[in-house]
Amino acid sequence: MAEKLFQIQPQDNAAVALSDITAGETVTLGDASYTARVAIPAGHKMAIRPIRMGEDVLKYGFPIGTARRDIAVGEHLHTDTVKSKLGSLLEYRYEPEKAPHWDPAQYSYLRGKTFDGYARPDGRAGIRNEIWIIPMVGCVNAIAQAIEKRAQEYREGSIDGIYAYGHPYGCSQLGGDMTNTQKYLAALVQHPNAGGVLVLGLGCENNEMAQMRDLIGPVDRRRVKFLLCQEVEDEVEAGARLVAEIAREVRDIPRTPQPIEKLVLGLKCGGSDGFSGITANPLVGEACNELVAAGGTGILTEVPEMFGAETLLMNRAKDERVFKDTVQLINGFKEYFMRHGEKVDENPSPGNKAGGITTLEDKSLGCVQKGGIAPVMDVLAYGDVAREKGLLLLCAPGNDLVASNALAAAGAHIVLFTTGRGTPFACPVPTVKIASNPHLAQYKSGWIDFSAGRLLEGETMKEVTADFLDLLLAIASGKAHAKSEALDKHDLAIFKDGVTL
């Protein structure tokens, strides 16, 4: 009898159905057998021990909630039988002795490897040599697109693309919202995947050009240009001329071998299912371990999807300062929820729940696996650019578009996006979609770049990780492209929390 159940940790009283289990069907797990009292869809959980009302339901070796009532062996563990334990703000203790043992010597696949990238004057490297047209205010989005269309004739040599981005912000914003917009846009201007940038303003917006130039800081004026549309008669022609000047400066930049230490990966998940925490997220975690061990950088975000698993990250903080910053990251985001009268445990989307995710803890314990087991070296505020090497935490919400854009602004060359449901979205940097199950990888092959579902088909983590890292090196070197790069990526998603005038 083929096993249809998977127990992640020996102490778990919840096991995951690897395929659909019908009501009354008897399935095996090791030497034990269990009879399903109701149908258990693939990716969902079955009780493999009796669980009393109020008792912890364990998955990944940690509580994902408590039982709403007494639960018998063989019952379906989902939203009708399990409830979240999350609530208000918590106090935390720094307990580094509880962190997993980190031994970089165990990860050697990327050590000494290079990727073919574009050397930048600030010492970083890009994996794409694109020209970006970035509006300071939503009023000029259409002008940015017109300049993009007019400037395509200047795409030549090593220029990988000329793209205009749009967003609805930059005016009628107050306080933190304006700060978020300015920091985010300034960070994009500095991104190493942009060989050159045209910063486009209107002339009367709150997001004043002088402020943006100060925030962006020193630039190479040959490849970063500024234009206010109200100050020229024909803004499209003026913008196209500036893009032509930029193109002449960047079209001959060659790809050259770059040390793996310069590679930055953003870590994100969305539309999860019950397999995400078993296949796709652990795979990305192994890739992150390999990159960090080789001197590179991984950035983990989606703060609400750390709730319930936050101590696993806090105990990995490199020191007391990073621990305190992580506590503030978690509690600060909980306070954001509370300011708006929202429950801290409100997260799993209908798609997540349909895929087998029951509580926020359930999703979070799977989500944080994308960060592997390396020490946490720094915590970034929204709009901050990564400066430290190693594993970093970034303040951003769980929303797929906002979080992925935040990762791009922080300096990620590639966003690794795990999914059990599938999504076609794109952001300013290549967004690699990793399917948690074989069916999704085959069914949505136009969206999915890699199948972590191979782990369900008998392949080892070592084998799958090696193939995955080879794909990432090929994408970083321009020898391959993420499926998302062929889709529309013109819209920016910026974090907003406040009043619009």
Q: CA 5, CA 28: separation in Å to the nearest integer?
A: 7
Q: CA 14, CA 5: separation in Å to the nearest integer?
A: 10
β-partners of residue 91 are: none
Residue position matching structure tokens 């983990």: 300
Amino acid at position 320, single letter = E
Q: CA 451, CA 263: separation in Å to the nearest integer?
A: 22
- String of DSSP letters for 287-354: HHHHHHHTT-EEEE--GGGGTTTHHHHHTTBSSHHHHHHHHHHHHHHHHHHHHTT--TT----HHHHH
**β-strand pairing of 194-201 with 130-135:** parallel
Please check whether residue 75 is in contact with residue 47, taking contact to mean a CB–CB distance below 8 angstroms.
Answer: yes
323-331: list long-range contacts, CB under 8 Å, 24+ apart.
Answer: 323/92, 323/94, 325/378, 325/379, 326/376, 326/379, 326/393, 327/92, 328/379, 329/303, 329/379, 329/393, 329/395, 330/303, 330/306, 331/89, 331/90
Total count of residues recorded for the chain: 501
Which residue segments constitute the domains of the chain, with CATH numbers given? 5-83 (2.30.130.110), 117-256 (3.40.1400), 261-355+365-460+473-480 (no CATH)
- pLDDT by residue for the chain (501 residues), tens only, comes to 468 999 999 999 999 999 999 999 999 999 999 999 999 999 999 999 999 999 999 999 999 999 999 999 999 999 999 999 887 788 899 999 999 999 999 999 999 999 999 999 999 999 999 999 999 999 999 999 999 999 999 999 999 999 999 999 999 999 999 999 999 999 999 999 999 999 999 999 999 999 999 999 999 999 999 999 999 999 999 999 999 999 999 999 999 999 999 999 999 998 888 899 999 999 999 999 999 999 999 999 999 999 989 999 999 999 999 999 999 999 999 999 888 888 776 556 787 788 888 888 888 998 999 999 999 999 999 999 999 999 999 999 999 999 999 999 999 999 999 999 999 999 999 999 999 999 999 999 999 999 999 999 999 999 999 999 999 999 999 999 999 999 999 999 999 988 888
Q: CA 383, CA 301: separation in Å to the nearest integer?
A: 12
Residue position matching structure tokens 């208000």: 88
pLDDT value for 2? 61
pLDDT value for 343? 79
Amino acid at position 261, single letter = E
In 68-149 the beta strands, taken as DSSP E runs, fall at 76-77, 82-83, 114-119, 125-126, 130-135
pLDDT value for 1? 40
In 97-186 the beta strands, taken as DSSP E runs, fall at 114-119, 125-126, 130-135, 161-164
Cα distances from 103 to residues 65, 240, 294, 418, 465, in angstroms, run: 32, 52, 12, 25, 18
Q: CA 69, CA 85: separation in Å to the nearest integer?
A: 14
Structure tokens at 420: 């059990």
Amino acid at position 122, single letter = D
If DSSP codes are grouped into helix, strand and coil, which group holds residue 82? strand
Which phi and psi (to 5°) does residue 319 adopt? -160, 180
Q: CA 131, CA 264: separation in Å to the nearest integer?
A: 20
